Copies of this chain bind each other. A is one copy, B any other.
Amino acid sequence: MKVLVIGANGQVGHQLVEKLKDKGHQPVAMVRKEEQVEQFKEKGIDTVLGDLQKDFSHAFEGVDSVVFAAGSGGDTGADMTVLIDQEGAIESVDNAEKAGVKHFVMLSSMGADAPKEAEQMQHYLYAKHRADEHLKASGLDFTILRPGMLTNDSGTGKVRLFEGGTEIAEIPREDVANVLAHIVDTNKPQGKTYYLHEGDTPVEDTL
């Protein structure tokens, strides 16, 4: 499958494109800058230049599945959270729908179900919430993934994937990438929202 990964230059996105390639798919890394292309090319991974703040609809041509894994990160202001995490995601959904994409996978966040109850990062959680709601209201087949607190630990390949619940737990970014790759590979969108923590179940046995 041709899989567009939006935010491929991010920590999760980077690992995701490699894992998708290992599974025999054709990932396309969407990156914003020309200088970000080479690192993917070296690994035989296709790229497409696309900027979430401009028109990036060209990136969706012929794409089977999309993973939105972009984020403005912690170094920019809340204005960028609106422009990237919220509006970039919403426009990605709209672009995917127009292009006839078959499965849209949204990398969301724990807490995005109830931002008002959060004690911090409310504006970020609202941005993620609005993007998730927009996806749910679209005509797309989708999967939403809400991981716990992201760490840079090495992945274990074992996780806890569940629907609902409000507990807080950690999850290595690499295992988030493992699960995203598994969701794409399994390719059975059921319009579900999953939460993801570290756990005991091999990623391949989830879903």
Bound CA span A116–B54, Å: 8
Tell me which of B83, B115, B123 contacts A126 (CB under 8 A): B83
Copies in the complex: 2
Determine whether A203 belongs to the interface, using a CB cutoff of 8 Å to chain B.
no
- Give the contact stretch, choosing among A35-43, A73-81, A99-107, A158-166: A73-81
Cβ of A127 and Cβ of B77 under 8 Å apart?
no
Interface residues of A in 114-131 (CB under 8 A from B): 115-116, 122-123, 126-127, 130
Determine whether A86 belongs to the interface, using a CB cutoff of 8 Å to chain B.
yes
Tell me which of B78, B116, B130 contacts A77 (CB under 8 A): B78
Bound CA span A122–B127, Å: 14
Shortest C-beta distance, A55 to chain B (Å), equals: 9
Shortest C-beta distance, A13 to chain B (Å), equals: 23
Cβ of B123 and Cβ of A78 under 8 Å apart?
yes
Tell me which of B53, B79, B122 contacts A78 (CB under 8 A): B79
Interface residues of A in 52-85 (CB under 8 A from B): 53, 77-83
In the complex, the chain B residue whose C-beta lies closest to that of A122 is B83
Cβ of A126 and Cβ of B82 under 8 Å apart?
yes
Shortest C-beta distance, A142 to chain B (Å), equals: 19
Determine whether A87 belongs to the interface, using a CB cutoff of 8 Å to chain B.
yes
Bound CA span A126–B123, Å: 13
Residues in B whose Cβ lies below 8 Å from that of A77:
77-78
Bound CA span A13–B79, Å: 26
Shortest C-beta distance, A173 to chain B (Å), equals: 24
Bound CA span A79–B115, Å: 13
Cβ of B82 and Cβ of A127 under 8 Å apart?
yes
In the complex, the chain B residue whose C-beta lies closest to that of A76 is B78
Bound CA span A79–B81, Å: 9
Contacts A79-B122, A86-B126, A130-B130 supplied; 7 other A-B pairs, CB < 8 Å: A53-B116, A77-B78, A78-B78, A82-B122, A82-B123, A82-B127, A83-B123
7 A-B residue pairs with CB within 8 Å: A79-B81, A79-B122, A82-B82, A82-B122, A82-B123, A83-B122, A87-B116
